[in-house]
Amino acid sequence: MKRPVRIAITGAAGSISHSLLFKIATGEMIGQDQPVILQLIEMPQAMEPLRGIAMELEDCAFPLLHSISLHDNFEEGVVGAHYVLLIGAKPRGPGMERSELIATNAPIFAHQGQAINKLANRDVKVLVVGNPANTNALIASRNAPDLSPAQFTALTRLDHNRTRGIMANHTGANPKDIRRVTVWGNHSSTQFPDLHHATIYGEPALPQIDQDWYRDTFIEKIQKRGSAIIDARGHSSAASAAQAIINHMHDWINGTPENDWVSMGIVSDGSYGIEKGIIYSFPVRCDYGRYQIVQGLEISEFAREKMTLSEQELLTEMETVKDLLPKETGESHRNLSVCLRSGTTLYDDGISLPKKQYLQTDRVR
C-alpha cells in the first residue's frame, strides 16, 4: 500500500461534495492503490451536517480511506494538502449568469490562494470549481506567489463531458468513441464547444452531423446546459459536476488516454493567440502529473470569433476583480512559457526555477 495523500476540499457539506466524497474514497479520483486523507472544510454553521457526512463515510468502511478531519477554518484544513478542491462558494439561481456571483464569491479565493501558498504541499494541485470558476482560479493563483501558476486549474471538464455525452445521444455512438472535442474559453455561456477536430469512431465528426444543427442548436445547448439544469432541478448540477471533478483530477494525475485530449481551464501562455495570463480552457494532454496544451490545431474563422468572445469576457472579469490580483504576480502569469511537472514552471523572463527539479517523492509530512 502507498502512503496516503492529503486532499483538502471546501464546501464539503454541499451538494457537489455529497456525490464527490464517496467517489474519492473508493479510489476513483487517484487510483485503486492510493489511500487518501480527507481534510473537509466548511463554514462554521455547516459543521454539524459535515459531521454527519463524515459518519457516513466511516460507515462505508472504504479500505482506501485512511482518515478524515473536519475544519471550519481554511488555514487548518489545507495544511500539507497534495490536492485542493475549491468547491465552497455560492451557486447561481435561475435567470442568473455565473459572472453575477463575482462580488460574493471572488474574495473567498484571494484568501484561499494565500493560505495554499503558505501551508499546502509544495507540489499541490489545485482545482477551482466555485463559480465563476476561471476568474476565481486566477484570483487564487495570483495570490500564491511561491507556487507555479501551472498548479492552479479551473473546471471546464463538465462542459467537455456534456459535449461528448450530448453528441453520443445525438449520433448513437458510445461516448468513449467520441474523441478530441475541445471546450475553449470561459466556463460561461460564451464557452465554445468545438467539434472541428473531433472524431467519432476515428473518423472526423463534423461530416457525420448536420452543420446547421451543430451551429444553431448544439453549441447553444452546451453553453446553456448549466441554466437548463437549474431550471429543471431548482439547484445547479451536482452529480455530473462531481463526476467531472473526478475525471479532471484523475487525468491530470494519471494522464490522458492515448489518441485523445481533455479540456482544462489553465493559465494561458499565449497559445492560439489567447491573451497571456488569463485562465482559459484549452485542449490539453496530461502525462506524469503535468499538462501541455495541444498545439497546431487549425482554427477556422468561425471558431476564432467564438474563442475571442470568450477571451474578451474573461478580460472583463479580470478587470472587475483587479483589486484582488496582486501586481507582483502579474509578470509571472504573463511570462509562463512551459509547464513541466506541477511545481516546476519555466518562465521566459530569466526567473526560471532550476531545470532539473522533480516531483517530491516523500509526499507525507
List, by residue number, the catalytic residues. 187
The partner in contact with residue 307, picked from ligand NAD, ligand LMR, none with C-beta cut-offs of 5 to 8 angstroms by kind, is: none
Contacts of 209 (CB under 8 A, 6+ apart): 167, 170, 171, 195, 218
131 binds ligand LMR (CB under 6 A): yes
The phi and psi torsions of 201 (rounded to 5 degrees) equal 50, 40
Looking at residue 188, the DSSP 8-state letter turns out to be: S
Q: Which of residues 292-351 bind ligand LMR (CB under 6 A)?
A: none
First to last CA, the chain: 17
* One of 54, 127, 133, 205 touching ligand NAD (CB under 6 A): 133
CB of 51 to ligand LMR, least distance (A): 27
CB of 230 to ligand LMR, least distance (A): 6
Minimal CB distance residue for ligand LMR: 226
CB 157 within 8 A of CB 134: no
Q: Is 33 exposed, middle or buried (0-12, 13-18, 19+ CB in 10 A)?
A: exposed
Contacts of 357 (CB under 8 A, 6+ apart): 343, 344
215 is in an annotated binding site: no
CB of 126 to ligand NAD, least distance (A): 13
98 binds ligand LMR (CB under 6 A): yes
Minimal CB distance residue for ligand NAD: 14
Amino acid at 336: L
| Interatomic CA distance for residues 216 and 214, integer angstroms | 6
* One of 21, 116, 139, 238 touching ligand NAD (CB under 6 A): 238
113 binds ligand NAD (CB under 6 A): no
186 binds ligand LMR (CB under 6 A): no
The partner in contact with residue 229, picked from ligand LMR, ligand NAD, none with C-beta cut-offs of 5 to 8 angstroms by kind, is: ligand LMR
Question: How distant, in Å, are the alpha carbons of 136, 236, 365 from that of 146?
Answer: 18, 34, 19
Secondary structure E strands in the chain: 5-10, 36-41, 65-71, 83-86, 125-128, 152-154, 178-179, 182-184, 192-194, 199-200, 203-204, 262-267, 279-287, 290-293, 336-339, 345-347
185 binds ligand LMR (CB under 6 A): no
Looking at residue 185, the DSSP 8-state letter turns out to be: B
Strand, coil or helix: 245: helix
C-alpha cell at 286: 496530461
* One of 226, 277, 283, 343 touching ligand LMR (CB under 6 A): 226
Q: Virtual CA dihedral for 265, 266, 267, 270, nearest 10 degrees?
A: -90
13 is in an annotated binding site: yes
160 binds ligand LMR (CB under 6 A): no
CB of 240 to ligand LMR, least distance (A): 7
- Of 129 and 200, CB closest to ligand LMR: 129
- Of 15 and 292, CB closest to ligand NAD: 15
CB of 241 to ligand NAD, least distance (A): 4
Provide the binding-site residues for ligand NAD, judged by CB under 6 A. Answer: 10-11, 13-16, 41-43, 46, 87-92, 108, 129-131, 133, 155, 158, 187, 236-238, 241
Binding-site annotation: residue ranges for NAD(+): 11-17, 105, 112, 129-131
Binding-site annotation: residue ranges: 11-17, 92, 98, 105, 112, 129-131, 162
